Every structure is written in structure tokens, then in C-alpha cells.
Amino acid sequence: MKIESRLAQIGSVAEPVTGAVSYPIYNATAFRHPKLGQSTGFDYSRSKNPTRAVLEEAIADLESGDAGFAFSTGMAALQTIFAMFRQGDHLLVSLDLYGGTYRLIEQIMSRFGVTATYVDTNQLDELERHRTERTRAVLIETPTNPLMMITDLEQVSQWAKAHGLLVIVDNTLLTPFFQRPLEWGADIVVHSATKYLGGHNDVLAGLVVTKGEELSKEMGFLHNSIGAVLGANDSWLLMRGMKTLALRMERHQANATAIAEYLSGHPAVAEVFYPGLPSHPDYAVQCKQSSGNTGIFSFKVKDSRYVEPILRHIRLIAFAESLGGVESLMTYPAVQTHADIPEEIRNRVGVDDRLLRFSVGIEHVDDLLSDLEQAFAAARAEVDKV
């Protein structure tokens, strides 16, 4: 079946006793054994829960993987992936990176002797230059958050395999509806499922999908041992959100493209970062490996003094962190999502005091454009008075 049908049918035929088309929420933490030495397949919910299992099977199928794992948050998913590494191991990581991932690597994993070098993962010569005998994996965001840098997954995966390295891809921003990294050679895919997969700003969750029997077994062991698993209620909420993913991503993409085009010609905007625009430097790569584009992008205003009044005057668009929900949100990465990245690193990458990140929702595009127009007009009027 096409992915739209598989999404809509998540869990709809998984309950054989009652035939419920919405899979039940199993809040049980313990399950009876038929007799000594036998199990129904469910013993204790940290190890396996029926509701969570349906979700995990669904995401593994959608990402073309062998096994799926549901976690309490996206950061818990990343922490469990990082538990595969040991003291002295080294990672190559996307240069433009979500601040929470940077914090986890630099402030937590560093305590255990795991180090990282941040590089433009689309440049093989840079990857090769920073690879060491202790390098174990490449961690890629594509598109990156917030500057929307694109990595050629096929190219990097081939290079990594030649050196025996794992390829881990954060696919949060495109979801399996638009991009499936395992099909391009990656080994592990991770999602902050709180974002587009959940889609309604009402559930915290993380998902991991693995390719290969050995890697899937190791992830299963870590998932159970560390225990940062997703509860049954949140698993059900996430499945419900995923059923409408195709519809939502199509609207997110359409709205984001229209607004990115509008802002590209705005006199107060210096630059727009969106891989759906032909002007994006990696537009061709994005078109090769993805069937569509995300609903989030970033832009720089020409004067940093515009930032505060724009955020104060937006009405329909909320000044709030996070992304991927049906509601439009705008955030200021330098002081919010990326505050844990040192200022000199942020500025070198381009996450400076003129950058705003816009998670475009599914509202009518005309209403979003009107809100932007009035907020920009008010901001420019205030700044021009000074």
C-alpha cells in the first residue's frame, strides 16, 4: 500500500478479539503467564506493551526498517542511541545542530569519555579530515535545525560504510512521509515524535528505527535496560496523530513554501533558509532524496532590532518553542532552542541575533501572511521612530 494508506490504517486491524479499529490502550504493567515457562509475549510493560508494540511496528514499517522503539522523549531516544558508545569513542556530528542534542553530547556524554567533532556533513573531505581511529558514527540532521542545511545521505552513507561507521539520521523535520534515510544507506533513524509525527503539541515522544538484526537486538537490549519507554496512553496519542500525517505534511509544505517565497522578497528580510526554494544551495540534493519539504524554515531580518517587536506583534502565530504542530509557532533560536550552544559557535554557524525560526502550521495561508504583514509593519514603524 501507499504510505498514505498505511498511515491511516495504523492499528486498525491489530485487535483480533473485538475488531476495534482504534487500537486499545493497555495500561497494564504486568501480564499473566499461561503456565510456567510460557508467556503471551507480554510480561512487563517496560519490556513490551501491546499499545506501544503496535506503534513500534508501524514506525519500523514506515521507515523501511527492521525494528522500531518508542521512547518517553526524543532526547531519551538519543541518549539510548548514545549508550551504544563507550569511553574514547568519537562521533562526527552535523555542524548546524539542535541545541538539546549539542547539550546532551557536550555536557552529558563528555562525562563518559565520548567526544564529537561538528562538521558540514555534506562535505566528504571535511568528514575525512576529522575522522580518527576512534570515530564510530556519523550523526546527521537533514534538514538541520534551524539553518536547513542538507546532507546527501547516499554519499555520506557510502563513505561511512567504507570506514565501518554507523550512520544515524535525525528525520524529525521531514518524517517518513517525505524522507526515508534507511533507504539511502543509514543504519538508525531517530525522531522527536513530539513534533510532526504527533502533530498536535499534546504528546512528548521519541522514536528510533534500526536496520539489521544485530543492531536491532542491541537497541532492544538498551531500550529495555535503560527503560525510558513511552507509556501506553502516549503511544495511543502518537498513533492517532500519525494517522493524519500525510494530510498535515502536505498542508505544512504548501503553507511554508508560500510564506518562504513571500519573505524572500520582503524588504525587511535579508535571507530565507528553506530547502523547498530553488535558490537553496542544496535544492537538487533535497529533490533527489526527499519527495517533499518540511513546514519549518528560518529567516534573517536585516536589522536585529526588528526581532523583539515582530515577536510581540504576531497574533495568530504564537511566540513559542517547539515545532511541527498544527498551530504556527515562531521562536528565536539564539536565546531559546539553541541557547546551550556557545555564542561564538552559534555566530560562526549563522544562528545569530537576526535569525527567527518559523514552524508553519496548517491554518489558512492568507491568514498567516496577513499576520506577518501586520507584525512586520508594526516592527518597522517602531524601529524607524528611533
Catalytic residue among 170, 187, 234, 371: 170
Cell numbers placing 107: 555536557
The verdict on whether omega for the bond into residue 275 sits within 30 degrees of 0, i.e. cis, is no
**Which whole number is the average pLDDT over 260-277?**
97
Element housing 217 (H / E):
helix 213-226
* pTM summary value: 0.96
Residue 98: active-site member: yes
Write the CB contacts of 188 (distance below 8 Å, at least 6 apart in sequence): 81, 166, 167, 168, 169, 208, 209, 210, 211, 215, 219
pLDDT-based confidence at 347, cuts 50/70/90?
A: confident
Catalytic residue among 195, 300, 357, 380: 195
**Which whole number is the average pLDDT over 22-48?**
95
DSSP labels, 310-375: HHHH-SSSEE-S---SSS-EEE-TTTTTTTTS-HHHHHHHT--TTEEEEE--SS-HHHHHHHHHHH
Instruction: For 246-385, give the CATH class.
Output: alpha beta
| 293-321 per-position pLDDT tens digit | 999 999 999 999 999 999 999 999 999 99
Cell numbers placing 62: 514506515
| 132-184 per-position pLDDT tens digit | 999 999 999 999 999 999 999 999 999 999 999 999 999 999 999 999 999 99
Q: Is 192 helix (H, G, I), strand (E, B) or coil?
A: strand
Q: List the domain boundaries for the chain.
A: 3-242, 246-385
Residue 170: active-site member: yes
Cell numbers placing 156: 555520506
Catalytic residue among 23, 26, 98, 118: 98
Residue 187: active-site member: no
**Rounded to 5 degrees, what are φ and ψ at 194?**
-55, -30
Q: Are 277 and 339 in contact (CB under 8 A)?
A: no
pLDDT of the residue at 350: 82
Checking if the pLDDT of 343 tops 80, the result is no
One-letter amino acid for residue 233 of the chain: N
- 368 forms beta bridges with none
CATH of 3-242, one of 3.30.1330.10, 3.40.640.10, 3.30.420.40, 3.40.50.720: 3.40.640.10
Q: How far is CA 21 from CA 11, 16, 203, in A?
A: 7, 10, 21
